[in-house]
Chains A and B, each alone.
Chain A
Amino acid sequence: MEFLTGLSHWLTGGDRQYMRLYGCMKGDTTWIAITVGLDFIIAAGYVIIALHWWKNQRSLPDVPAKRALSRMRNIFIFCGLCGYIFIPVKMVWPAWRLYDVFMCVLGYYTWRYALNTRELKVIYGEIGRSTRLAADLAESQRQTQEKSFFLNAISHDLRTPLNGLMLQASLAEVGLESNDPDVLRQAIKEIKGSANSAARMLDNLLNYAHMESTEDQDTTERLRLSELVASVLEQHRTGAGRKGLSLSSQIPPDLLVCCNRGKLERILNNLVDNGIKYTKQGGVRLEADTNGKGIELHVIDTGIGIAQEHCEHLFKEFYQIGNEARDHSKGYGLGLAIARRLAGQLGGDLAVESALGRGSRFTVSIPACVVPAEREESIGAPALAVGS
């Protein structure tokens, strides 16, 4: 008991008058030196830990392991702050020797932590690597899913008309055997339809493949935009008329651009075709703007519009909204994918703005050089005025 009382008395400063501010500093230089030394040792340990965290951990992704390590770091910081907050306290607090014992323990663990940072670096490296691997795996799974969707769509779109063709051929056999010309005639008609459907699908796929293989071939020519647009609209006039839709354009008649005619025409064809397909009333309008970088062509329809969640997927191959059964009367889902790819080949892009029930606006931005009309003399024919 006497020993404990003595220890307590010693730890709390003994007979010295510590309650006086900085009183403990007078006449006890050894302990002051030890205390200040401990402070510096701990501070150095913290500097090493801080540098390590700054260099290695800052950029780590937010994973559970990082959060656990962060909690560990926070405990250390808390202990360190406690230590430094107590510096002035120890000057007035009689228990400064007890404080120094605490500082010894803290110093030991701080340096132990600081010296182990090399091992921690390996852990952080592993965390980063596993996170990257997880991201790569997710990307790979996404690509596999897309590829699987692509193959399924091709498989379905080719097998369905082939199936019709095969069954109708059986029906034709039956018609032939039973000498029933009506059955035979109808079967042959359906066979032709199914064969045409399969051929169209093959054409689409071959065009798509051809487009990919000729990505680098790009010949530009000078063309009058209003004429090109008029030609595109003319090709769709019958289809639009059948649905009672209007086709119009607002293109400056003297606007000349240097661009690949075939690709631009195909982009516009696909967009106008798409606009007509998804518009029940109103029509499709083409507009053009020029800016310092090139031209912007807008294909605007008054159709059913596209929900925001579909907009980002709209340019994927075989993506069709509301056509889960892949009804071919609604197309094959390649038109917009082809249009965007072609726009990319021309160095531009294709974007869409849309609102459900209010129509869509597809914008093709192409860095085509725009030729001022007054410099162009060889094209003297007046531009075609297009309207419905």
Chain B
Amino acid sequence: MLVVEDDRVTSQALRILLSRQNCEVTLAETVSAARAVLRESQPDYLILDLMLPDGDGGEILRELRLTSSTVKVIVTTAINDQQRMADVKAMNPHKFVRKPFDVVDLLKAMGIM
């Protein structure tokens, strides 16, 4: 599982919480770091934040849609822009979760709970 999140508090909490559910978690803070991880491996799930320091996380989702990738993408975001959210939803992510979210919601979205 790849967690792309630039907020350290969120990413560290997700790493520990998901690890306890026997998930192997890799963290990436930027779009470029996420691309590098995806080039090396194909995780089952990608938890993707949209506003990242070096660009738009939505670009990763777009790139995955252009390939025949089977990675399930769960988009998490704190933005409130309806147009932007509609654009992201149009790219068919597995789930779209708005921040703040409970880890239970995330686990349900992944079918773990």
Quick check: is B81 within 8 A (CB to CB) of the other chain? yes
Q: In the bound complex, how far is the Cα of B51 from the Cα of A327, in angstroms? A: 10
| Given A148-B81, A151-B80, A163-B101; A190-B13 close (CB under 8 Å) | yes
- Contact at B10–A160, with CB atoms within 8 Å? yes
- Contact at A164–B16, with CB atoms within 8 Å? no
Residue of B nearest to A323 (CB): B53
Quick check: is A152 within 8 A (CB to CB) of the other chain? yes
- Contact at A159–B100, with CB atoms within 8 Å? yes
- Highest count of chain B CB atoms <10 Å: which of A155, A194, A325, A327: A325
Q: Mark A157-181, 1 if CB is under 8 A from B, else 0.
A: 0111111111110110010000000
Cβ distance A37 to chain B, nearest Cβ, rounded Å: 68
- Contact at B78–A174, with CB atoms within 8 Å? no
- Contact at A168–B81, with CB atoms within 8 Å? no
- Highest count of chain B CB atoms <10 Å: which of A163, A164, A171: A163
Quick check: is B9 within 8 A (CB to CB) of the other chain? yes
Number of A-B contacts (CB under 8 A): 76
| Residues in B neighbouring A327, C-beta threshold 8 A | 6, 53
Quick check: is A241 within 8 A (CB to CB) of the other chain? no
| Residues in A neighbouring B26, C-beta threshold 8 A | none
Residue of B nearest to A191 (CB): B9
- Contact at A162–B51, with CB atoms within 8 Å? no
Q: In the bound complex, how far is the Cα of B58 from the Cα of A293, in angstroms? A: 52
Quick check: is B20 within 8 A (CB to CB) of the other chain? yes
What are 24 A-B pairs with beta-carbon distances under 8 A?
A152-B80, A155-B78, A156-B78, A156-B80, A158-B78, A159-B78, A160-B99, A162-B99, A162-B100, A163-B7, A163-B10, A163-B76, A163-B99, A163-B100, A164-B7, A164-B9, A165-B100, A166-B102, A171-B16, A174-B17, A183-B16, A190-B9, A324-B55, A325-B6
Instruction: Report B's interface with A, CB cutoff 8 A.
Output: 6-7, 9-10, 12-14, 16-17, 20, 51-53, 55, 76, 78-81, 98-104
The 8 A-B residue pairs whose C-beta atoms are closest, nearest first, are A164-B9, A159-B78, A167-B13, A155-B80, A163-B99, A163-B100, A162-B100, A325-B53
